[in-house]
Amino acid sequence: MMDVVEVGLLMSNSYVVFDPDLREAIIIDAGDEADKILRMIEKNDVKVKAIYATHGHFDHVLAVREVKEQLGCKFYIHREDLPLLERASESYMKLFGEERLGPPAPDGYVSEGDIIKIGDYEMKVIHTPGHTSGSVCYVIEGAVFTGDTLFAGSIGRTDLPGGNLQMLIDSLTRKLLSLPEDYSVFPGHGPSTTIGIEKLYNPFIGIGGLYREKHL
């Protein structure tokens, strides 16, 4: 089971994913508006054991400190996005001219192939560099949480620090589009979609898309 709230000026999605019987949960991205995220947790009556970031951009991590303090949970991210995590508060300042307390240091790191237990369920980590070098997606029960790697009808930008277009296309075509077509996609911004829909209609990686590879 999952629930979502949209947070912050850049409208990023903060998801809670949980075992509906055991009520054990994790949060995927805590970008801003900790109070809104905490209300979602309370509403679903779950116990959060950790926050997992899809990547280190400020719009995905700026509420981690407060949510972590309130819930007493752990925080994980891919090691390669540590420099971005450390600059999150500075990047926010540059864009919005407002001082914000940055995210805390992570309690540990996620990497390709890691299995995360959520009650009786298992969530798998796939490393999908391109939008940032430490971008990851989380796969669980017919769903994939894609952060800023894949959106409904779009793909992540690669013009920000750490971005690499060739790597992004590689991650998308080899790792994400190879998932079953009926898998739901829950992106870091905007509405959900499915692997099948993006494989057909995504203007970048869908049929006839800008970066579509011949072998697909």
- 8 A C-beta contact, residue 127 and residue 55: no
Nearer to Zn ion, 134 or 188 (CB): 188
The Cα 29–Cα 90 span in angstroms is: 19
Measured from the CB atom, the residue of 61 and 143 that comes closer to Zn ion is: 61
Closest distance of CB 96 from Zn ion, Å: 14
Is residue 81 part of the contact set for Zn ion (CB under 5 A)? no
Asked whether position 59 contacts Zn ion by CB under 5 A, the answer is: yes
Q: Candidates 5, 26, 57, 127: give the one binding Zn ion (CB under 5 A).
A: 57
Rounded-to-integer distance, Cα 85 and Cα 21, Å: 34
**Cβ closer to Zn ion: 12 or 146?**
12
Q: Residue 44 or residue 164: which is nearer to Zn ion going by CB?
A: 164
Q: Is 48 helix (H, G, I), strand (E, B) or coil?
A: strand
CA dihedral 102, 66, 53, 148 (to 10 degrees): -70
Beta bridge partners of 150: 155
Stretch that binds Zn ion, among 6-14, 20-28, 197-205, 206-214 (CB under 5 A): 6-14
Shortest separation between residue 150's beta carbon and Zn ion, angstroms: 12
148 is an interface residue for Zn ion by CB under 5 A = yes
- Pick from 56, 71, 77, 44: nearest CA to 12: 56
Interface of this chain with Zn ion, residues 162 to 191, rule: CB under 5 A: 188
